[in-house]
Amino acid sequence: MSAATTKKYPWPNDARIALSMVVNVEEGSEYNITEGDRGPEPVDELQVSLSKPMRNYGNESNYLYGIKEGAPRIIKLLDKYNVSATWTVCGQSLEKYPHLADTIKQRGDEACSHGYRWIHQFRMKEDEERAYIRKAADSIEQTTGQRPKGWLSRYLLTDNTRRILQEEGFLYHMDDYSGDEPFWDSVTDSDEPMCILPYAMDSNDMKMWVSASFTPDDWLKYAKDTFDTLYEEGGEQTRMMSLGLHLRIIGRPGRIWALEEFLRYVSSKPGVWFAQRGEIAEQFIKHNPAPEAK
């Protein structure tokens, strides 16, 4: 990297890296025929394939584990290491489990919208998607006292998503995996650009659900290696790391130790900013104003 490279928008206190801890709360919002869905939730650690619409009680209990056992373990570690987090939450999940909304409020953490339910919004028409986005924001504001600034879809977005988010007052969008720092991206060639905070799937604990051979040791090594590279690069350019967590995954007793080892490791390094994503977006916008629309 060229020695002439400079930071365009330095992090507070001259931090080398903005570390974004993203705690996903999807439990209680997943697909279920009791919600009028055509079938049960397909993302299943048990890897059960059903040929007819029926309730998958086993998988439902696997998700419930995240609420009953996983969440307390994750919260305990966030408190122990004094880590500020962004909770990407489904509105219905917090309606069902208000104690999590209370935790977010009490910790002063950020609630980012992950939809009203954990479903595929890309199948919606524009008016349906707008109503869905608004319903999610209204719900999260009611349970947490804060209207979400950011949005993370379930996997895919539509051609209308960013424009709707802008019109609904959202500050940033997460449905992107193309970089290790925030950037501006136009919704269309003629619209105002939107602040994009890229997310990351490679360091996400979901890998341990979808690939049984990917162990907590593997996840920890990968997460630390990712941090080390971005931390080193942070001496010359703006760097940000996203670490995606799920209550039902990293919250298991055989995995939670890996999260603690990661937090212990990064907490020992100087110049690490444990930042909420809304804070990152605001800092980026402050030091790197939006370009004019074409």
pLDDT of 3 reads 37
> What are 256's two structure tokens?
């939670």
Instruction: Identify the sign of the CA torsion 284, 104, 247, 39.
Output: negative
**3-state DSSP assignment of residue 235:** coil
Domain contains 9: no
Domain contains 115: yes
Q: Is 50 exceeded by the pLDDT of residue 250?
A: yes
Domain contains 96: yes
Which range marks the domain in which residue 91 is found? 15-287
Model confidence pLDDT, tens digit, residues 5-49: 445 668 999 999 999 999 999 999 999 999 999 989 988 888 787
pLDDT of 2 reads 34
Element (H, E) at 241: strand 240-246
pLDDT of 51 reads 73
Element (H, E) at 100: helix 98-107
Domain contains 293: no
Domain contains 292: no
CATH for 74: 3.20.20.370
> What are 180's two structure tokens?
């290790």
Query: pLDDT category, 127, cuts 50, 70, 90?
Result: very high
Q: CA geometry: angle at 128 spanning 152 and 247, to 5°? A: 30
Number of independent structural domains in the chain: 1
Task: Report which residue type is found at 161.
Answer: T
Domain contains 257: yes
266-280 burial by CB neighbour count: b if 16+ within 10 A, else e? beeeeebbbbbbbbb
Model confidence pLDDT, tens digit, residues 198-230: 999 999 999 998 887 899 999 999 999 999 999
Q: Single out the residue of 232, 216, 246, 251 nearest to residue 43, CA to CA.
A: 246
Average pLDDT of the chain?
A: 93
Question: What's the mean pLDDT in 264-281?
Answer: 98
Q: Whole-structure pTM over 0.75, yes or no?
A: yes
Model confidence pLDDT, tens digit, residues 59-101: 999 999 999 999 999 999 999 999 999 999 999 999 999 999 9
Domain contains 149: yes
Q: What is the DSSP string of 113-165?
A: E--SSSS-GGGS-HHHHHHHHHHHHHHHHHHHSS---EE--SS---TTHHHHH
Domain contains 154: yes
